Amino acid sequence: MNNDLRIEDNYLVIDCGEIGYKLRMLEANRIRGLLRLEIREQDDSRRLYYDISSMETFDSIVGSRTLQMDDIRALILSISRTVRNLENYLLDADDLIIDRKYMYISGDRLEPVFCCCPGHGKKFSAGLSSLLQDLLGMVDSTDRSAVVSIYSLYQMSMKSTYGMEDLVDIVNRNTMDTEKGKIKESDSSVRETVQYKDDNLEVISVSGVDDEDSRTAGDMDELYTSLNADPKKYHFGMRNKKQDEENNTKKKKGLGFLR
């Protein structure tokens, strides 16, 4: 596979060699979470045209804002759903290009649409770990859940073996509504409920998570405090939403630049 990706009009274009069953499967089906593919063949030339009409790159979206917990949750659930959808069409996660420059957003939520290109040459796990590492410094430092989640996700992605369910568990545990004591969940397929003890918000049970893997609110506070105290120790610098908005204002006035 020639990895020379380029933009032509409203298409992401990739030169291709042999057209296998996976590419035919992608062209013949409309798969949720994937860019629509059209294969164009002329003489000995074969090119893959992915429709990106009316979409913005993931990179341009996250580069102009700080990420909140809802953003991180939407991203992970979107990736998880897409990976599950692939299995129904004899495709696998390694066929996805996990690169923020070639992931696209078509709505208000941070739910990317992916380019699926079998044989592109990069493992899903490597791409996801690289993406999460990039996002470490884009999280709003005042959003405790977002900070703890993105660091935990990155840690998990560095393990030799893990599953998407592990990443979903992380965002579910950290998307807490302390007033109601429930996980905020719009996707009924991955719902978990948290119970708290007294007023100290100690987690005493989390459905769908092993006891030994449950993290107390105190543990999260400790991690959040340490991350804020010395972000360089963890190889990233967190962004502050208020500072980000001020930087955007200054940029518009010609007085400064985004960090």
Quick check: pTM over 0.85?
A: no
Provide the CA 154 distance to its chain's centre, in angstroms: 11
Please give the pLDDT value at position 199: 35
Please give the pLDDT value at position 67: 93
Please give the pLDDT value at position 255: 34
Please give the pLDDT value at position 111: 94
Please give the pLDDT value at position 224: 59
**Secondary structure (DSSP) of the chain:** ----EEEETTEEEEEES---HHHHHHHH---TTB--EEEEEETTEEEEEEE-TT-EEHHHHHTTSPBPHHHHHHHHHHHHHHHHHHHTTT--GGGB---GGG-EE-SSSS--BB-B-TT-S--HHHHHHHHHHHHGGGBBTT-HHHHHHHHHHHHHHTSSS--HHHHHHHHHHH-EETTTTEE--S-GGG--BEEEETTTTEEEEETTS-GGG---HHHHHHHHHHHHH-GGGGT---B-HHHHHHHHHHHHHTS----
Region of residue 254 (phi > 0: left; psi between -120 and 50: alpha; otherwise: beta): left
Domain boundaries, the chain: 5-51
Show Cβ contacts of residue 221 under 8 Å, excluding neighbours closer than 6 positions. Answer: 144
> Tens-digit pLDDT profile for the chain (259 aa)?
555 788 888 999 999 877 888 999 999 999 999 999 999 988 778 899 999 999 999 999 998 889 999 999 999 999 999 999 999 998 999 999 999 999 999 888 899 999 999 988 899 999 999 999 999 999 998 898 999 999 999 999 999 889 999 999 999 988 864 223 343 444 444 443 333 333 333 333 333 333 334 444 455 556 656 665 555 444 444 455 555 555 454 444 333 323 2
User: Helix, strand, or coil here: 14?
Assistant: strand
d(CA 76, CA 56): 19
Please give the pLDDT value at position 200: 35
